[in-house]
Structure 1
Amino acid sequence: MTLILVLHPRATRDPVVQVWIGVFGATVPLALRWQLNGADATPVPVRALSGARPSAAGPRAFTGVYEFRTGITPDTTYTVRVSDSGTTFSDVLTLRTLPAAVPAGGGFEAFNVLLASCFYRHEDKRGFAGDLVRGLPPVHRPDLTLLMGDQVYLDLPALRNFHTGQAELAAKFEEDYVANWGGPGGYAEILHSAPAASIPDDHEYWNNAPHGSPTAFQSLIPGFRDHWYTAARQMYEAFQLSTPGGYRPLLELDVPPLSFFLMDNRTFRDRDRRSTLPPGGLAQFEAWARRVGDEGRFGVVVTGQSLLQGAAGWLKGTFGDRGLADYGDHPAIMRTITGLARRGRPVLCLTGDVHYGRVVLAEEIGNPEAKVYEVISSPVSLVTTPGLDQLAAVRRQRDDPWYRHRAAAAPPATIQVDGAPKLATSTIYPRAGEKGNHLTQLAFRQSGFGLELLITYWMAATDGAASVRHDLDPIRLSPTF
Structure 2
Amino acid sequence: MYHPTSTAQWSLAIHRVTGTSVEVWVGTLFPTLKLPERARIRLLDGDRHLRARVIRREDWRRPFSRMKRRFFCVATFRRLAPGHDYRLEFERRVEANQKIGLARHWQRLRSGRFRTLPSRLPRAGEGAFTLGLGSCFYNHRDGGQAAAAYKALHDRGDPAVRPDLTVLAGDQVYLDIGFDSLSLVPGEIRERIADDYALHWQALGSILSRGGTWMLPDDHEYWNDYPFVDSPVPTLLALKVPGVRRIWRRAARDGVRHIQRSPVVESFSLGNELTVCLADLRSHRSERGFLPDADFEKLLRWARRRTSPGVLAIAQPLIVTESRAERNLRSFPRQYARLLDALGAPGHDVVVLSGDVHFGRIASVALGNAGARLIEIISSPLSNLTGLNGIATNVAKADPAHFPPAADAEALGWASRPVDYFTEGGRRGRFFVGTRNGWPLSAYPKRRTREHFMTVSFRRLPEGDVELTAEAWLVRRRRGPAHMPVRAFAEPFRVTLR
* Superposed pair shares fold, TM > 0.5: yes
Which residue of 1 is the match for residue 116 of structure 2? 97
Asked if 1:458 is matched to 2:473, the reply is: yes
* Cα distance change, pair 26–50 in 1 and its aligned pair in 2 (3 A): farther
Q: Which of 198, 221, 232 is the matching residue for 2:252?
A: 232
* Alignment of structure 1 residues 129-144 onto 2, 5 Å: 129-136=146-153, 137-139=157-159, 140-144=161-165
Q: Which of 22, 27, 36 is the matching residue for 1:22?
A: 27
* Cα distance change, pair 93–414 in 1 and its aligned pair in 2 (3 A): closer
Shift of 1:378: 0.5
Which residue of 1 is the match for residue 38 of structure 2? 31
Could you tell me the TM-score, scaled by structure 1's length? 0.83
Which residue of 2 is the match for residue 151 of structure 1? 172
Q: Which of 210, 214, 229 is the matching residue for 2:227?
A: 210
Q: Contact 1:11/1:195 (CA < 8 Å) preserved in 2? A: yes
* Cα distance change, pair 62–368 in 1 and its aligned pair in 2 (3 A): same
* Cα distance change, pair 28–192 in 1 and its aligned pair in 2 (3 A): closer
Which residue of 2 is the match for residue 123 of structure 1? 141
| In structure 1, C-alpha distance between the alignment counterparts of 2:270 and 2:185, rounded to whole Å | 44
Q: Which of 248, 252, 265 is the matching residue for 2:267?
A: 252
| In structure 2, C-alpha distance between the alignment counterparts of 1:8 and 1:135, rounded to whole Å | 18
Matched AA of 1:132: A
Which residue of 2 is the match for residue 74 of structure 1? 82
Matched AA of 1:421: W
Matched AA of 1:337: L
* Alignment of structure 1 residues 173-192 onto 2, 5 Å: 173-182=193-202, 186-192=203-209
* Cα distance change, pair 306–299 in 1 and its aligned pair in 2 (3 A): same
| In structure 2, C-alpha distance between the alignment counterparts of 1:100 and 1:280, rounded to whole Å | 30
Asked if 1:335 is matched to 2:341, the reply is: yes
Which residue of 1 is the match for residue 365 of structure 2? 362
Matched AA of 1:163: S
Shift of 1:43: 7.1
| In structure 1, C-alpha distance between the alignment counterparts of 2:247 and 2:184, rounded to whole Å | 7
| In structure 2, C-alpha distance between the alignment counterparts of 1:230 and 1:54, rounded to whole Å | 8
Shift of 1:358: 0.8
Q: Which of 413, 416, 419 is the matching residue for 2:412?
A: 419
* Cα distance change, pair 43–452 in 1 and its aligned pair in 2 (3 A): farther
Q: Contact 2:131/2:456 (CA < 8 Å) preserved in 1? A: yes
Asked if 1:5 is matched to 2:5, the reply is: no
| In structure 2, C-alpha distance between the alignment counterparts of 1:217 and 1:28, rounded to whole Å | 38
Which residue of 2 is the match for residue 263 of structure 1? 279
* Cα distance change, pair 30–197 in 1 and its aligned pair in 2 (3 A): farther
| In structure 2, C-alpha distance between the alignment counterparts of 1:285 and 1:222, rounded to whole Å | 32
Shift of 1:28: 4.2
Once structures 1 and 2 are overlaid, which stretch shifts more, 250-259 or 116-125?
250-259
Shift of 1:220: 2.6
Asked if 1:376 is matched to 2:384, the reply is: no
Matched AA of 1:120: Y
String of CA shifts for 1:44-78, please: whole Å, max 9, x gaps.
99x95311224323xx3212221011x31111122
2:371 is paired with a residue whose SS is strand
Asked if 1:437 is matched to 2:451, the reply is: yes
| In structure 2, C-alpha distance between the alignment counterparts of 1:474 and 1:61, rounded to whole Å | 45
| In structure 2, C-alpha distance between the alignment counterparts of 1:353 and 1:180, rounded to whole Å | 17
Number of residue equivalences: 435
| In structure 1, C-alpha distance between the alignment counterparts of 2:148 and 2:18, rounded to whole Å | 29
Matched AA of 1:334: L
Once structures 1 and 2 are overlaid, which stretch shifts more, 201-210 or 410-419?
410-419
* Cα distance change, pair 5–230 in 1 and its aligned pair in 2 (3 A): same
Asked if 1:166 is matched to 2:186, the reply is: yes
Shift of 1:353: 0.5
Once structures 1 and 2 are overlaid, which stretch shifts more, 87-96 or 328-337?
87-96
Shift of 1:453: 0.7
Identity of aligned residues (%): 28
| In structure 1, C-alpha distance between the alignment counterparts of 2:81 and 2:478, rounded to whole Å | 43
Shift of 1:30: 4.2
* Cα distance change, pair 422–130 in 1 and its aligned pair in 2 (3 A): same
Shift of 1:193: 2.1
Shift of 1:80: 2.1
Which residue of 2 is the match for residue 399 of structure 1? none
* Alignment of structure 1 residues 314-329 onto 2, 5 Å: 316=325, 321-327=326-332, 328-329=334-335
* Cα distance change, pair 4–120 in 1 and its aligned pair in 2 (3 A): closer
Q: Contact 1:165/1:227 (CA < 8 Å) preserved in 2? A: no
* Cα distance change, pair 283–387 in 1 and its aligned pair in 2 (3 A): closer
| In structure 2, C-alpha distance between the alignment counterparts of 1:94 and 1:463, rounded to whole Å | 23
| In structure 2, C-alpha distance between the alignment counterparts of 1:101 and 1:255, rounded to whole Å | 5
Q: Which of 464, 469, 476 is the matching residue for 1:449?
A: 464
Matched AA of 2:239: S
Unaligned runs of 5+ in 2: 1-5, 95-105, 423-428, 436-449
Unaligned runs of 5+ in 1: 393-403
Q: Contact 2:363/2:376 (CA < 8 Å) preserved in 1? A: yes
| In structure 2, C-alpha distance between the alignment counterparts of 1:229 and 1:14, rounded to whole Å | 35
| In structure 2, C-alpha distance between the alignment counterparts of 1:89 and 1:449, rounded to whole Å | 45
| In structure 1, C-alpha distance between the alignment counterparts of 2:339 and 2:119, rounded to whole Å | 28
| In structure 1, C-alpha distance between the alignment counterparts of 2:415 and 2:457, rounded to whole Å | 29
| In structure 2, C-alpha distance between the alignment counterparts of 1:337 and 1:344, rounded to whole Å | 8
